């Protein structure tokens, strides 16, 4: 068995390979070539443990996450966990990897795939609202998918935006990184706007003129009462693409506008089908929304690619069974 820590994972897969793996997952989703049972969630005092098994034709595994809110006080990650990769034929665990890093890069790559397929090819600017743990890789993957010249960061707690700016500057040479003073300023300056918050009310101003022609990548809201996006976006949007069918029910960014009649459910396209049917669209002057809530199939397909690459590249710690 091989163990891959965060560094090993990063070394094992390129940004493009990771986005390609997410696109593979989308194709499997569209072709129904997966088995992803309901996740098991168990709670005990302040701890929550989540089990997310997934099978594809080529792979089988489980992401296991723990959520420990008290860890924040200890300067430890609130969400921690591991991904187990099993042999699809024998069931044996062949690889275990850090769940935090896997989640961060696959969520970044899911955003990146949205950028690849729902934004104008010549965009030069991206803004990120919410500079928490997912923010770093959202920007990294966006900058890989498009020739970005300017990045704008906004967070209610300004220090967090400043700290992410420093982190990004180490990695992104030749790209200007700015701190925006308001969400409005950020949206005004950015062609792509990524929302990655845990907000329960819109983090973008409800202003059609401001939003016209923008490409929104929303990854925050994953519950029916969580919302990042204002009503007016759904009124003017030309194309809405989601990662999974259940996003329509699970995310307040979709279920509330559908309920209000601002958008019809059947106008919303699934990325798997979208990739097949609508490739190479010119999004000039189009307003687009890509909404992701995530699913275990992304973890499984990306983890399997990481595992296969780690074998080839001889990366990771070997464990004697």
- Identify the helix (H) or strand (E) that includes residue 152: strand 150-154
Minimum CB distance to its own copies smaller for 283 or for 298: 298
Minimum CB distance to its own copies smaller for 89 or for 280: 89
**Does residue 209 bind its own copies (CB under 8 A)?**
no
| Residue indicated by tokens 């907000």 | 199
Minimum CB distance to its own copies smaller for 51 or for 222: 51
Phi/psi of residue 52, each to 5°?
-125, 85
Give the C-alpha separation, 82 to 63, whole Å: 6
Ranges within 97-116 binding its own copies (CB under 8 A): 98
Give the C-alpha separation, 240 to 217, whole Å: 10
Ranges within 55-94 binding its own copies (CB under 8 A): 55, 60, 62, 64, 66-68, 70-71, 74, 76, 80-82, 84, 86, 88-93
**Does residue 319 bind its own copies (CB under 8 A)?**
yes
| Secondary structure (3-state) at 84 | strand
Per-residue CA distances from 162 to 132, 166, 179, 229, 315 (Å): 11, 6, 7, 24, 33
Minimum CB distance to its own copies smaller for 93 or for 179: 93
**Could you tell me if 229 and 289 are in contact, meaning their C-beta atoms sit under 8 angstroms apart?**
yes
Minimum CB distance to its own copies smaller for 66 or for 150: 66
Residue of 10, 19, 96, 129 that binds its own copies (CB under 8 A): 96
**At its nearest, how many Å lie between its own copies and the CB of residue 56?**
9
**At its nearest, how many Å lie between its own copies and the CB of residue 199?**
25
Burial of 12-29, coded b for 16+ CB within 10 Å and e otherwise, reads bbebeebbbbbbbbbebb
**At its nearest, how many Å lie between its own copies and the CB of residue 103?**
14
| Secondary structure (3-state) at 284 | coil
Q: Catalog residues that contact its own copies under the rule CB under 8 A.
A: 1, 3, 5-6, 35, 37, 40, 42, 44, 47, 49, 51, 53, 55, 60, 62, 64, 66-68, 70-71, 74, 76, 80-82, 84, 86, 88-93, 96, 98, 317, 319-321
């Amino acid at each position: 068995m091989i163990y891959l820590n965060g560094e090993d994972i990063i070394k094992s897969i390129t940004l493009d390979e990771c986005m390609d793996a997410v696109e593979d997952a989308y194709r499997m989703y569209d072709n129904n070539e997966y088995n992803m049972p309901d996740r098991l969630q168990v709670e005990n005092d302040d701890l929550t443990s989540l089990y997310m098994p997934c099978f594809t034709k080529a792979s089988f595994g489980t992401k296991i996450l723990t959520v420990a809110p008290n860890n924040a006080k200890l300067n430890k990650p609130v969400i921690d966990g591991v991904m187990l990769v099993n042999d699809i034929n024998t069931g044996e665990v062949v690889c275990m990897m850090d769940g935090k890093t896997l989640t961060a890069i696959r969520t970044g790559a899911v955003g990146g795939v949205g950028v690849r397929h729902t934004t104008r090819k010549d965009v030069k600017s991206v803004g990120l609202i919410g500079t928490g743990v997912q923010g770093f890789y959202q920007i990294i993957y966006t900058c890989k998918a498009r020739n970005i010249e300017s990045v704008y960061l906004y967070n209610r707690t300004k220090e967090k935006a400043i700290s992410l700016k420093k982190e990004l500057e180490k990695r992104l040479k030749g790209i200007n990184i700015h701190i925006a003073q308001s969400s409005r300023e950020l949206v005004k300056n950015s062609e792509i706007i990524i929302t990655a918050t845990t907000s329960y009310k819109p983090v973008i101003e409800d202003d059609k003129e401001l939003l016209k022609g923008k490409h929104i990548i929303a990854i925050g809201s994953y519950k029916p009462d969580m919302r990042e996006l204002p009503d007016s976006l759904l009124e003017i949007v030309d194309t809405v693409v989601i990662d999974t069918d259940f996003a329509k029910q699970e995310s307040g960014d979709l279920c509330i506008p559908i309920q209000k009649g601002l958008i019809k459910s059947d106008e919303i396209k699934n990325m798997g089908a979208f990739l097949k049917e609508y490739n190479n669209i010119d999004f000039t002057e189009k307003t687009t929304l890509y909404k992701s809530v995530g699913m275990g199939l992304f973890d499984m397909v990306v983890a399997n690619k990481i595992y296969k690459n780690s074998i080839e590249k001889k990366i990771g710690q070997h464990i004697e069974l």
